[in-house]
Chain A
Amino acid sequence: MEVIRIWILIRPDAASALEDPKVLSALPRYVDVVKNRRTAKFQISRMVPVDYSDDSPTEELWMVHERALVKEAELEKSLDHGKVKIGDLKPPQRSLLHLKHLIGRRILESCVLCERRCMKNRLRGELGYCKVGEETKVSSYFEHMGEEPEVVPSFTVYGSRHSSVGRPS
């Protein structure tokens, strides 16, 4: 609660931003999620059961992913319309979010996350053009007050690049 009291003093514009008609017209669902009236998308993806095995070829995983996205969109609609309550759902052992995580790790073997597609094998310790290797280090995290009024306070985490950059390897 400490956070709230202080930020209203720093950013009085942020306090009223969620009622601003221009924010509401452009970002209605986001505002509802902030107010806990609707469910954040990742929590919905966590409720979509998927069937795959860890050693399936990547193309197959993408096909399962595509089908699961359709199911997620349907579930989001049911939740948004109040036909289903998130609290009544039980998270499956393997969900769409798990599958996304697995595919994300696969991409690191020949990295094409950004459009540069440098295809470095980050799982084997190679660094991409971005100088990030296998693991993300966190250089800091804090309640960010310097974003747009509808966004703050925003819990911001700074991912960092590999620590051996600049040292002879």
Chain B
Amino acid sequence: MGCNFRCIHCQNWGISQQFEEGSVIPQKELAMLIDIARRGGCRNQNWVGGDPIPHIPFWLGVLLHEKENTPVFFNTNGHYSQETSELLRGVVDLYKIDFKYGSDRCAERISDAPRYWETVTRNLRSAKRYGELLIRVLVLPGHLDCCLYRILKFISEELGKGTRVNLMDQYAPHWRAGEAPELSKRLTPSEWRRAVAMAEDAGLTNVTM
């Protein structure tokens, strides 16, 4: 809940777009819970929304109270401003950015996201420069040529062939996906084979599936 995108195919729509009452937990208390979880064996703290972007000032306030050495895992769609990028710098240990579109037209049509390519590629570069980066790519049916090809090429050429990429085949037509004909069905086996071949052709060497 609380997302800066409006993806018609939102894979977490139950929590991102629906109304669900949360409760106000004092930042100090949340910090204590995170410290306890870390002592209990959790590897990191994972900030989620919807997207964590609208909640960053709150999270910075939580971090002020934390005592343990808990790496910050920032789990985002990557569509944040340059100001936000500066705030995250020196705080986030591991950026996980969902790289969704290779075309601004697709990003606007499906997620209502303006200036997508320019923004997300800028933030991917800065994430790599100031922290470590994991990229998640959910392959969308019908978006191999317009999106996937350009995404994989950018990762390979601009971020490095060894960039850790999680290529995902589990797209399902959730939420209002029926509004876009190509998104109203699952990925076909032949599309998935083509996606894997595209990753190989791009020369990527650190792809998990």
Contacts and interface: CB of A to CB of B under 8 A. Distances in A.
Range for the number of chain A residues in contact with chain B: 35 or more
B57 A155 contact: no
Given A105-B57, A114-B4, A156 B90 contact: no
Contacts of B19: 165-166
A111 B115 CA distance: 17
Interface stretch (B159-167, B173-181, B185-193): B159-167
Nearest to B136: A148
B184 to A, nearest CB: 25
Contacts of B81: 112-115, 117
A155 B38 contact: yes
A73 interface: yes
Interface of B: 1-4, 15, 19-25, 30, 33-34, 37-38, 40-61, 63-64, 66, 69-73, 75, 79-81, 83-84, 86-87, 89-94, 96, 113-115, 119, 131-134, 136, 162-164, 166, 206, 208
Given A33-B71, A72-B90, A101-B61, A159 B48 contact: yes
Contacts of A25: 162, 206
A151 B163 contact: no
B91 to A, nearest CB: 5
B43 A153 contact: yes
Given A98-B64, A100-B91, A154-B44, A113 B24 contact: no
Given A34-B71, A69-B90, A97-B63, A115 B80 contact: yes
Given A115-B80, A166-B19, A34 B44 contact: yes
A136 to B, nearest CB: 4
Contacts of B33: 141, 155
Contacts of B64: 46, 97-98, 101
